[in-house]
Amino acid sequence: MKRSPQPLRVGPALAPKPGALHPHVHAPRIPLPRARLWLMNVVLSTVFVAIAGQTLRLAASSSPETRLSRAEPLHQTYIRPDIVDRRGNLIATDVNAASLFADPAIVRDADDAAERLAALFPDLNAAELRHTLADKSRRFAWIKRSLTPIEAQRAHDLGIPGLAFRREPRRVYPTRNLTSYIAGQVDIDNRGVSGIERHIDSIGAAEAAASPTPSQKPPVRLSIDLGIQNAVADALNAAMEHYKAHAAAGVLMAVDSGELLAAVSLPDQDPARFKDADEADRFDRVTGGVFELGSIAKIVTLGLALDELGATSTRFYDTREPLHIGRHTIAEQHRPNRPLTLADILIRSSNVGAGIIAMEAGVARQRAFLDRLGLLDTIRTEAGRVAPPLLPSNWGPIEGVTISYGHGLAVSPLQFAAAASSLVNGGIKVRPTFLLQDTVPPGEARVVSAATSAAIRDALRRVVSDAHGTGRRAEIAGYEIGGKTGTAEMPGRGGYKSNSVISSFLAILPASAPRYVLLVSLFEPQGIEETKGKTTAGLNAAPTAARIVERIGPMLGLIPATLAEAAN
């Protein structure tokens, strides 16, 4: 008897769970809604695009300054164009320097770090530094900016945790003291604060930057000639030592363009250490001070007589007797035994003669004439404002007389040199400039006639060449120097200092057709054996000017007549 087949038994491990499908039976696919799928694709695409964009932006940035430490704030400094002289010699430039900063949160021992840093940099205040480094809430603090390479290496060698460096542009001056008053200074962020440096900022040539990259601006080209500047400074230093003067100033100006080829004030100072210099060393006597310059002012009085009063160089003035104005008496140091011509008044430096001219002209005409020459205005150059003239509070007849021979009106040497240039260049007013001029700028206005200018030049030549001229010690064979001496008392509290003078000499080169005006001043020279104890300008300032001309003449292309004749 056949048995019917038994049903297959499924064990517990193989039996499907309740509600589950058989393993060989596929679950049906449930399609996602199309809107959800589209939204997911958009979100993922946006994320990937954002990541790719950020990656490209970081890769395209090549500046290391974008990778700042979390402790370092974004700091802006300035890059500046070079300053050069008229021949292209470097006066100022930027270099890449290290600045030291700290992250106080990382500094382990603030006391030890402050002590060691203060020992390395004595100008730092140890107590303030200790307080700064101990403040753990701060993440950045400057320690010292613009270090020299040696200073940076020594700071690095301290090995103090939490200290680091940042590269910044640092302004350096290869000529140092030689052009300190002209170039000026910059602040710690490399912004100009005085002199030509401030002028650079005013014309937009200084650029904000996050890294010390070289400036792409063209260099600022000055009218100064470093060779001539050095020669003038060297001669003035020697004169200060020889005549025991406390200070000196020298200006060389082109009479047609107003370009300054030299502007020296001694004592001077290093622009990189300006704040540490003595007060006397920070005083620019060429542009920053005003002085009574004595009898060189008679050049102006001569022009007044010629141009305003219609006088001629041969007109006579009776200067044999003192001049009485109210209770004041003006007398000659060396009383002449005859009337003097107008030219003689300048040659012999007659105070009485100058006073007679002032009285004849009157205060109104005298003042208008000085104003026309620019001696009463406040003037500016690219290096900044020139000290304003000091005028008498009451400009009456007696003040008019004293001003005629150089007392009672104080001006800067630079301003007087510009006025003198206008008087001898044919009569065209010029303005002083420290920038090299590509062409001679047109004169602003005529201040005196060409005939008056020629007469002044002739008289100035005779001051040096005439046997009675006060400037004969400025004579150099073959150079045809013209000029005028001036000796003025130094002002003091409540009046004038006793036995203290400013000795000045103004020279024109060459006298027949001037190209340059040279003004030299010695402050408080002492009487020496050579001058027989006297301090007058004819004995010290005039020979100083002659020594300067001997040195700079060849640099200016002024060949002595004797050499020119020999060459021909």
Q: Which whole number is the average pLDDT over 234-238?
A: 98
Question: What's the pLDDT score for residue 411?
Answer: 97
Question: What's the pLDDT score for residue 9?
Answer: 46
Q: Are residues 398 and 279 in the same domain?
A: yes
| Rounded CA separation 212/327 (Å) | 68
Question: What's the pLDDT score for residue 371?
Answer: 97
Q: Are residues 211 and 232 in the same domain?
A: no
CATH number, domain of 384, equals 3.40.710.10
The residue out of 221, 239, 258 marking a domain boundary is 221
**Would 40 be classed as within a structural domain?**
no
pLDDT > 70 fraction of the chain, expressed in percent and rounded: 84
536: CB partners within 8 A, 6+ apart: 470, 485, 487, 501, 503
Q: Are residues 215 and 231 in the same domain?
A: no
Q: Are residues 463 and 540 in the same domain?
A: yes
For 565, list phi and psi in degrees, rounded to 5. -65, -40
Of the candidate ranges 51-55, 182-186, 348-352, 452-456, the one whose mean pLDDT is the lowest: 51-55
Q: Decide which of 539 and 44 is more confident.
A: 539
Q: Are residues 270 and 351 in the same domain?
A: yes
Domain count, the chain: 2
Question: What's the pLDDT score for residue 269?
Answer: 82
Instruction: Flag whether pLDDT at 2 surpasses 50.
Output: no
Length of the chain: 568
Distances (CA, A) of 564 to 125, 478, 554, 558, 561: 64, 9, 12, 10, 5
Q: Which whole number is the average pLDDT over 414-423?
A: 98
244: CB partners within 8 A, 6+ apart: 525, 526, 528
Question: In this structure, are residues 259 and 182 in contact, taking their beta carbons and an 8 Å threshold?
Answer: no
**Would 209 be classed as within a structural domain?**
yes
Q: Work out the number of other CB atoms within 10 angstroms of the CB of residue 228.
A: 21
Q: Are residues 177 and 235 in the same domain?
A: no
Read off the pLDDT of residues 287-324 as tens digits, 9 standing for 90 and up. 999 999 999 999 999 999 999 999 999 999 999 999 99
Token digits of residue 408: 């009672």
Q: Are residues 171 and 275 in the same domain?
A: no
pLDDT > 90 fraction of the chain, expressed in percent and rounded: 72
| Rounded CA separation 425/402 (Å) | 26
Question: What's the pLDDT score for residue 566?
Answer: 42
Question: What's the pLDDT score for residue 232?
Answer: 98
Question: Residue 29: which pLDDT band, with cuts at 50, 70 and 90?
Answer: low
Beta bridge partners of 157: none
**Would 176 be classed as within a structural domain?**
yes
Q: Which whole number is the average pLDDT over 151-155?
A: 94
Q: Which whole number is the average pLDDT over 541-560?
A: 94
Q: Which whole number is the average pLDDT over 430-445?
A: 84
Q: Which whole number is the average pLDDT over 13-38?
A: 53
Q: Are residues 194 and 270 in the same domain?
A: no
Question: What's the pLDDT score for residue 211?
Answer: 78
Q: Which whole number is the average pLDDT over 358-362?
A: 96
The residue out of 206, 221, 236 marking a domain boundary is 221
**Would 427 be classed as within a structural domain?**
yes
Question: What's the pLDDT score for residue 7?
Answer: 46
The residue out of 191, 221, 251 marking a domain boundary is 221
Instruction: Flag whether pLDDT at 272 surpasses 80.
Output: no
Question: What's the pLDDT score for residue 336?
Answer: 83
Of the candidate ranges 21-30, 183-192, 229-238, the one whose mean pLDDT is the lowest: 21-30
**Would 53 be classed as within a structural domain?**
no
Instruction: Flag whether pLDDT at 284 surpasses 70.
Output: yes
Token digits of residue 99: 């600045």
Read off the pLDDT of residues 164-206 as tens digits, 9 standing for 90 and up. 999 989 999 999 899 999 999 999 899 999 999 999 999 999 9
Read off the pLDDT of residues 45-74 as tens digits, 9 standing for 90 and up. 776 767 766 666 666 654 444 344 444 444
**Would 350 be classed as within a structural domain?**
yes
Q: Are residues 282 and 190 in the same domain?
A: no
Q: Which whole number is the average pLDDT over 112-137?
A: 93
Q: Are residues 265 and 175 in the same domain?
A: no
Q: Which whole number is the average pLDDT over 432-447?
A: 84
Which range of residues forms the domain containing residue 273? Answer: 227-567
Q: Decide which of 47 and 220 is more confident.
A: 220
Question: What's the pLDDT score for residue 58?
Answer: 60
227: CB partners within 8 A, 6+ apart: 87, 555
CATH number, domain of 146, equals 3.90.1310.10
**Would 401 be classed as within a structural domain?**
yes
Q: Are residues 186 and 325 in the same domain?
A: no
Indicate the burial class of 234 (C-beta count within 10 angstroms; 0-12, 13-18, 19 or more): middle
Question: What's the pLDDT score for residue 70?
Answer: 46
Question: What's the pLDDT score for residue 543?
Answer: 98
Strand order in the sheet with 495-509: 260-266, 247-254, 516-523, 495-509, 482-492
Q: Are residues 180 and 252 in the same domain?
A: no
**Would 129 be classed as within a structural domain?**
no
Question: What's the pLDDT score for residue 557?
Answer: 92
